[in-house]
A and B are shown apart, each in its own frame.
Chain A
């Protein structure tokens, strides 16, 4: 892994020596007419192709929001499905313009790869899936329990740390793939299954009776996932960053894709009017049309809508908002104001 990091760093250095000019990405995107977006090859709720071959998911909606902001058309996106290993290279080499691919924001990645994280579109964290009849309410009640884990992931490490710091014992039972892990859990080989929470909800659907298991509310690790862009192009960085902030602000202000036209025409709230580009702020500060915010909300929806549609109550996954609720509702989603 260490070696990989050096190689990646070397790659980053090579890329940076090519000196990305501010605004270069936006100009390139405008001239080719679409946003080239790196997404996951398939992660339920984040990016997956539906029956018609259209990509959907909360990560995909980030790409669509940026396209809506630039072109006023959320469909002007081309997707590069990337594996975990090639994602950074694809961004560094300029193959893609942005990378919303359930990528955890860490110090190493932010500082050593020549990349920048633009924000957090999903706060994930390692959690626990337990059967209902176990009657457990918190991980702290699980001293001596056995856990099904997928081998070779940081999950294993986090679990060990958590149990050691709480002076509890546990038995790990490791498997190669997530499918094997959930099968073992279903067969009763372990008391609980641990993985990132967003994964747990997807795994739960695979149970023959999904309602028989619950995801415990607490998390034992921080996995903030967010879109990534190349370092050195601040204008592009701003566009991706504020596309997400516009969605979060819209939810906070109660602007949805359904009422955005009404709000644009009739709202007296200056915050709404600035968000939708009616007064006050100028889109040209980012090189965009003034109604960039309106286009995002109209075509993609606010953050709450995107969450609900892809991973939340309106989707098959049914993930609770939890950490991803607005700051005003006990979560962490907080966006600087548009003014």
Chain B
């Protein structure tokens, strides 16, 4: 008796697996898609090789003057020579370590926050929010503990961009939450004040806010009182962004079913307890994409400070372009700026996605 031996399975047809199948399914599934694929491929062919040729193959990387840029490709020498200024602005070179130290300190403080079961988290968070800015300010500004005083007009570059945006973020979230709660409050004065603040700040362009803070405000202050330009800009940015944040948070509050509020009351929780323990944790989780959206917009909006003569990274690059020894390298400088901004914004958006996954509790539809 012979046992039945089944014929071994045939491999799937070559057109339904591997690269060919993937191509057929994704790129050439219909005549329209085929056409679009070919068109896109042609566009890539037109743009990518010259770009690579310019940015990498023909580019000049090393040297310290304009003479090093002879090959006709990108002159990254310009970016290299100016790198310190793009990062630190006009901060005195011998004091760069203070900025570096503040940055390292921030990283060291942030790392434990990402460790799930770090024991002293409840002390660390307030320290990062309230203690660290004081330390960082003392480091940047100096004038204490024998550190040389560095006036804010010399702060600049990526450092200033990060200072402005982190101050803006740290201030606008709590302010925004308060304004959002105020707008939903039953108390008429609180409510109307919040509405006026939100609508006023949302109704004016940021550029106007900055401009007023830098050009008009000094005229109305008594002579001799100097109100730091950077501080004025920071306050402007924080108030402006908190109005937007308030509306983002309010949209989250509205998404919470009424039953949740009633349940909190039924448990005998006070207003602040019910908000802090029941409503806000749910509402904020819902609006993470909106919050991060506002943060990314804020990060990019900080470049507007260049119109009031503060040297954030973009302004620093533009200032470098005005050096008679380096005229005509705008494309290199601006490409570098685009890359840096993209890296920061993209990381923020990836972080928000991972935060959403982490806080996912099964309520998403």
Query: Interface on chain B toward A: helix, strand, loop, or mixed SS?
Result: helix
- Min CB–CB distance A91 → chain B (angstroms): 10
Question: Do the beta carbons of A83 and B308 come within 8 Å of each other?
Answer: yes
Question: Is there a chain A Cβ closer than 8 Å to B214's Cβ?
Answer: yes
A202 touches B324 (CB 8 A): yes
Q: Take A18-B223, A49-B90, A81-B319 as given contacts and tell me if A205 and B324 are in contact as well, using a CB distance cutoff of 8 Å.
A: yes
A79 CB to closest chain B CB, in angstroms?
Answer: 8
Say whether A184 faces chain B, with CB atoms less than 8 Å apart: no
Taking CB atoms, residues of chain B closer than 8 Å to A315 are 324
Cβ-based interface call for A161 (8 A): no
Query: CB distance A50 to B325 under 8 Å?
Result: yes
Indicate whether A83 sits within 8 Å of B323 (C-beta atoms), given known contacts A53-B90, A93-B221.
no
- Once the chains are docked, how many angstroms separate the CA of A185 from the CA of B322? 20
Query: Who on chain B is nearest to A81 by CB?
Result: B309
How far apart are the CA atoms of A11 and B223 in the complex, in Å? 11
Taken together as a complex, chains A and B put the C-alpha atoms of A205 and B220 apart, in Å, by: 43
The reply to whether A89 and B309 contact each other, CB–CB distance below 8 Å, is: no
Complex CA gap A92/B220 in Å reads 11
Which single residue of chain B is at the shortest CB-CB distance from A183? B330
B 301-326 to A, binary, CB cutoff 8 A, 1 in contact else 0:
00000111101000100111111110
Structural contact, B315 and A89, CB atoms closer than 8 A: no
Q: Give complex CA distance A80, B223 in Å.
A: 18
How big is the A interface, by class?
35 or more
B-facing mask of A260-293, CB < 8 A → 1, else 0?
A: 0000000000000000000000000000000000
Residues of B near A89 (CB, < 8 A) are 214-216, 218-219
- The chain A residue with its CB closest to the CB of B218 is A93
Cα(A92)–Cα(B315), bound, Å: 25
A216 at the interface (CB under 8 A from B): no
Q: Can you offer 28 A-B residue contacts whose CB atoms are under 8 A?
A: A7-B219, A10-B219, A18-B222, A18-B223, A43-B322, A44-B324, A45-B324, A49-B320, A50-B325, A51-B85, A53-B89, A53-B92, A78-B153, A80-B309, A82-B309, A86-B214, A93-B218, A93-B219, A94-B223, A95-B218, A202-B327, A205-B324, A205-B327, A205-B328, A207-B328, A315-B324, A316-B324, A317-B324
In the A-B complex, list the 7 residue pairs whose CB atoms are closest, starting with the nearest: A42-B322, A206-B328, A93-B218, A11-B219, A42-B319, A18-B223, A316-B324
